[in-house]
Amino acid sequence: MKKTVIVSSPGKLIIGGEHAVVYGRRALVTSIGMRLYMQLTVDENSSNQTDKHLLNVLLHDTNQRYTIDLSESSGSHPIEIQAVIYAYNHFKSLLSDRNTLNIEVRSEIPIGAGLGSSAAFSVCLVGCFYLLSHETLNAEEINQLAYKIECLFHGTPSGIDNTISTFGQSLLYSRTLKKHLNFHLSNLAIIDTGIPKSTKRMVSLVRSFVESNPNDGEKILNEIETCVDTMVEHPEEINQLFQENQRLLKSLGVSTPEIDQIIEILLKNKISTKITGAGGGGCLIALTTTFTKEEVLELLKDNPIKSIQFVECGVEGLREEQTLFS
């Protein structure tokens, strides 16, 4: 007998407040219409007479397959499998040790682009086991456990990514604030520069700047927070606020000549663009108004970029699905 559950959760974008949020300032984060889908099937195999308790994992996007014996506590596994084992151990008292577990994952969220792929994986993983065990989804409880799994991926993350992936919509976030917002943007483009980024290196660079220039550093961080608050209070000013937030990020040293050139070209065509995430590479976000993807690509034809995707913002969070492939 088999029992199957399927869930999905969205990726995320930081609209404003990058780096400043590390220093306790507010950031504006939104969920995006790029989702990760996960299916968990429990095969209640009563004919299994071996001591093995098998876990099969299939990652469709990378065509990676893993088979793990859960009865063996030792062994070196990829981080995704460590995450699965962590979630399983949390829920195993509710599962028979004679079952074979099959997990399949399909994702629309690019890995390593700062769009919350690991958080969506963590949230879906907990969501699958929770739904299987409780036949419902409790967002608060799922979010708490998903954060612990996110720590396997990132050490001590802020908690922004898993929270937005669980609850969806948009969020005004700081260490002391978690305010859900009805914030939406239309025709927002994610431009993947294709430039390799290191979040750790960019965070370290900003810390060095702030410690070496405490007065200027504090002033810039406060002005970034002011941008974020104004984005929420006066969304009609979003174009000017994108430009101001980008100017401040450049002052912190997280832009690059390649990024500056892309932003300058688009601004000449009245497209406001800024870094999203750590900077130094990775992705930019652009308010493309009436421009199509093809028109933006034409504007940037002399700039080597990896991809452009238009996304919906402020979408639904973790939810149950009927199929792994929509």
- Residue 189 confidence (pLDDT) above 80: yes
**Is residue 161 flagged as an active site residue?**
yes
Evaluate if residue 256 carries a pLDDT over 90: yes
Note the pLDDT tens digit of each residue in 200-224.
Answer: 888 889 999 999 999 999 999 999 9
For 212, the 3-state DSSP assignment is helix
Q: Where do runs of H (alpha helix) occur along the chain?
A: 79-91, 117-134, 139-154, 160-167, 199-212, 214-233, 238-252, 257-268, 293-299
Q: 0.85 exceeded by the pTM?
A: yes
In the predicted model, is pLDDT for residue 66 greater than 70? yes
Report the C-alpha gap between 169 and 184 in whole angstroms: 8
Catalytic residue among 161, 216, 260, 302: 161
Q: What gap in Å lies between CA 29 and CA 13, rounded to an integer?
A: 6
217 vs 75: which has the higher pLDDT: 217
